[in-house]
Amino acid sequence: MDLILLGAPGAGKGTQGALLATRLAVPKIATGDMLRDALRQGTPLGLEAKRYMDAGELVPDSVVLGLVREALAGPAAQGGAVFDGYPRNVAQAASLAGLLDEIGRGIDAVVYIDVPEDAIVSRMSGRRTDPETGTVYHVEFNPPPAEIAARVVQRADDLEDTVRRRLAVYRETTAPLVAFYEDAGIPVHRVDGDRAIEQVQDEIMGLLGR
């Protein structure tokens, strides 16, 4: 199954995507995670991406397309993938359709996780990531276990001004993808993401008929 998770920054795409990938036994292809990995490794691609990410702007389409192409070619992705944070605009949606078409696949469904903006701001300010495993926590809603708590870090782009810019970019360029996929006749499942993580996950699995 090839599934796209859409939603504003902080809506829970990464959290739900990790759970879904395990349950559906497919990899999560998360362009944000891949870009942060490249940055940690100090690759030229990571260093180029950094200035866009720190400003809350989208990294150029050509950069992320290369990452997605590579991830889709891996053996783990041969049975499908959960796309988290990709596509981000209509051009990326067209590129993804082309990549999947080349391997005889297409998007099976889109899950749109809907969360009000005030909840999003509190989620972003409390988000912490384990630098060793990439697991995402929240200081209040999903606290890290005691043995991990001392090493979790805050994302550089979770500062208030950057969050505001990321939300604006989302509204302008990514949110229109909901209508784009509906118009294309691909099932778009709308989920109320302002509930407990497990409730959201159960609803998504139900909507996917799993």
Give min distance, CB of 104 to ligand AP5, in A: 23
Chain residues that interact with ligand AP5, rule: CB under 6 A: 7, 9-15, 31-32, 35, 52-53, 56-59, 64, 85-86, 88, 92, 123, 126-127, 136-138, 141-142, 157, 166, 193, 195-197, 200
Closer residue to ligand AP5 (CB): 15 or 20: 15
> In the complex, which residue's CB is closest to ligand AP5?
32
Q: Which of 88, 105, 123, 128 is catalytic?
A: 88
Q: Which of 23, 69, 155, 165 is catalytic?
A: 155
Q: Which helix (H) or strand (E) holds 136?
A: strand 136-138
Closer residue to ligand AP5 (CB): 88 or 105: 88
Residue 88 annotated among the catalytic residues of the structure: yes
Distance CA 153, CA 96 (A): 32
Q: In DSSP terms, which residues pair with 113 in a beta bridge?
A: 191
DSSP 7: -
Report the 10 Å Cβ neighbour count for 101.
Answer: 10
Distance CA 59, CA 78 (A): 26
Q: Which of 105, 123, 128, 166 is catalytic?
A: 166
Residue 165 annotated among the catalytic residues of the structure: no
111 contacts 206 by C-beta, under 8 angstroms = no
Give min distance, CB of 201 to ligand AP5, in A: 9
Closer residue to ligand AP5 (CB): 26 or 200: 200
- Which residue type does 112 have? Y
Peptide bond into 87 cis (omega under 30): yes
DSSP 1: -
Q: Which of 13, 36, 50, 105 is catalytic?
A: 13
Closest CA to 3 of 25, 35, 36: 25
Closer residue to ligand AP5 (CB): 105 or 123: 123
Give min distance, CB of 99 to ligand AP5, in A: 13
* Helix spans in the chain (H): 13-24, 31-41, 44-55, 61-73, 90-102, 117-126, 146-149, 160-169, 177-183, 197-207
Give min distance, CB of 34 to ligand AP5, in A: 8
Q: Which of 28, 50, 127, 128 is catalytic?
A: 127
Residue 127 annotated among the catalytic residues of the structure: yes
Distance CA 104, CA 7 (A): 27
Give min distance, CB of 121 to ligand AP5, in A: 11
Q: Taking the mean position of all CA atoms in its chain, how far away is CA 110?
A: 12
Residue 50 annotated among the catalytic residues of the structure: no
Would you name the residues annotated as active-site residues? 13, 88, 127, 155, 166
